[in-house]
């Protein structure tokens, strides 16, 4: 058993309304010194076998087809050590 992490973020040029809302809320709550916030999603995918190259390739395919909307989002796939 191994765990593969998929991080999905809006592409840098895409408006992140939620991130902006968080950034606006922080100073109101007394946190200073934050210039921007971007929000993303993290998936923890448990796989049966080891996190070898083949398994990672399979997870990348999952990310491509389901976990990320590649028109507006980027993703990264990493094996949890």
Partner 1 sequence: MTLDTVKRAQDTPEERQPYAELGMKTDEYERVREILGRRPTSSELAIYSVMWSEHCSYKSSKVHLRQFGTKAPASEALLVGMGENAGVVDVGDGWAATFKIESHNHPSYVEPHQGAATGVGGIVRDIMSMGARPIAVMDALRFGAADAHDTRRVLPGVVEGISHYGNCLGLPNIGGEVVFDPCYIGNPLVNALCVGLLRKDQIKLATAPGPGNKVVLFGALTGPDGIGGASVLASATFEDESQAKRPSVQVGDPFMEKLLIECCLELYQADVVVGIQDLGAAGVSCATTELAAKGTGGMDVRLDLVPLRDPSLRPEEILMSESQERMMAVVTPDDIDAFMAICARWDIPATVIGEVTDGGRLVMTWHGETIVDIPPGTAADEGPVYERPFHEPAGQAALNADGPSRLPRPEDLRATLLRLLGSPNLASKEWVTSQYDRYVRGNTVLAQPADAGVLRISEVMPGAEETTRGIALSTDGNGRYARLDPYAGAQLALAEAYRNVAVTGATPLAVTNCLNFGSPEDPEVMWQFAEATRGLADACKALGVPVTGGNVSFYNQTGSTAIHPTPVVGVLGVIDDVAKRVRSGFTAPDQKVLLLGETEEEFGGSEWAHVAHGHLGGLPPKADLEAERALALVLTEAASRGLLTGSHDLSDGGLAIALAESVIAQGVGATVTLPEDDAFVSLFSESSSRALVTVAPESFEAIAELCAANEVPCQCIGRTGGEALVVENVLEIPVAELRETHTATLPAIFG
- Give residues in contact with partner 1 (CB under 8 A): 10-17, 20-21, 24, 69, 71-72
Helix, strand, coil share of the chain (percent; to 5)? 35, 30, 35
Within 16-63, residue ranges assigned H as helices are 17-28, 53-62
In the complex, least distance from residue 78 CB atom to partner 1, rounded to whole angstroms: 25
**Of residues 5 and 23, the one with the C-beta less far from partner 1:** 23
Question: Using CA atoms, how far apart are residues 13 and 38, in angstroms rounded to an integer?
Answer: 11
**Of residues 2 and 23, the one with the C-beta less far from partner 1:** 23
In the complex, least distance from residue 26 CB atom to partner 1, rounded to whole angstroms: 14
């Amino acid at each position: 058993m191994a765990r593969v992490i998929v991080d999905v973020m809006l592409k840098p040029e895409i408006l992140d309304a939620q991130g902006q809302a968080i950034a606006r809320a922080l100073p109101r709550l007394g946190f200073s010194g934050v210039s921007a916030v971007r929000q993303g999603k993290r998936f923890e995918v448990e796989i049966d076998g080891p996190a070898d190259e083949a398994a990672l390739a399979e997870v990348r395919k999952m990310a491509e087809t389901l976990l990320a909307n590649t028109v507006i989002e980027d993703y990264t796939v990493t094996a949890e050590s």
